Amino acid sequence: MATTIIPQPVEPASDQLEQYAHAECVRRQRLDHRASVLIAPAGRCEAAVRFARLGAEVALGDRADLRQEIGGRILATGLADQIRFAAFDLVDPPADLPGEPYDIIFIRRGLCGLRYGDACRSVRQLLLKLRIGGKLFVTIRGLHSELGEGYADAERPVGERHARLAPAMVAKYGIDRPVCLYTERDLFMLLLEAGASVLRTMTTTYGSVQGVAVRV
């Protein structure tokens, strides 16, 4: 007999994309298995806590050298039985991760550090870590956000776009590496070229670009 999972009260989601992901998690919890979620990068573990309190099993993917730091944060949540750390690299996702195949993969801004072709290959590999019908939720830094002010590659096609932000933006946000900024259409095409079925794309108030896709 399937175990009944009673979701616990959770803090509000940080944005609309996470709200959509939570709704998907709750829907899958009604099936006969506990939802399995991959979040990368880990951030400060707030998103992992929100999913875990909905009853999900969560894998937090991030750099191997952050294992101890993130492990400490996981212990501090009191949800260590539901949240696990996984050494993870978006350029070359590991062949085997705890909890896969996943119902939900939630990627938070990491793809913009890759060139478009590498991001496409990464998404293609991530899709293979989803169950058939599983959903990929992506948020990525937008070309028409504040970060695009003075961005050297703003007029280049997305496939050629990979440059440092303007000095003022580097100083403000601490992003001192080349990035590929996206329009909403760019993200739609990235997901489509990677082999996903795109359900929706949107742009936040602050200009970040977000998308939801499904493995078919």
Mean pLDDT (the chain, rounded): 90
State the pLDDT at residue 104: 97
The yes-or-no verdict on residue 12 having pLDDT over 50 is no
Question: Mean pLDDT throughout 143-165?
Answer: 97
Query: Mean pLDDT over residues 29-40, rounded?
Result: 85
DSSP 121-156: HHHHHHHTTEEEEEEEEEEE-BTTSGGGTT-TTTTS
Band of pLDDT at residue 109, cut at 50, 70 and 90:
confident
State the pLDDT at residue 7. 39
Q: For residue 13, is pLDDT > 90? A: no
- The span from the CA of 98 to the CA of 38, in Å, is 9
Q: Which residues pair with 26 in a beta bridge?
A: none
Q: What is the mean pLDDT of residues 127-155?
A: 96
> Given a cut of 70, is residue 9 above it in pLDDT?
no
Higher pLDDT, 142 or 98: 142
Helices (H), the chain: 16-29, 46-53, 67-77, 116-127, 167-173, 184-193
Which CATH class for the 16-214 domain?
alpha beta
Residue closest to 17 by CA, chosen among 216, 214, 202: 202
pLDDT at 2 over 50: no
pLDDT digits (tens, 9 = 90+) for 47-89: 999 999 999 999 999 999 999 999 999 999 999 999 999 999 8
Percent of the chain's residues with pLDDT above 70: 93
**Domain residue ranges in the chain:** 16-214
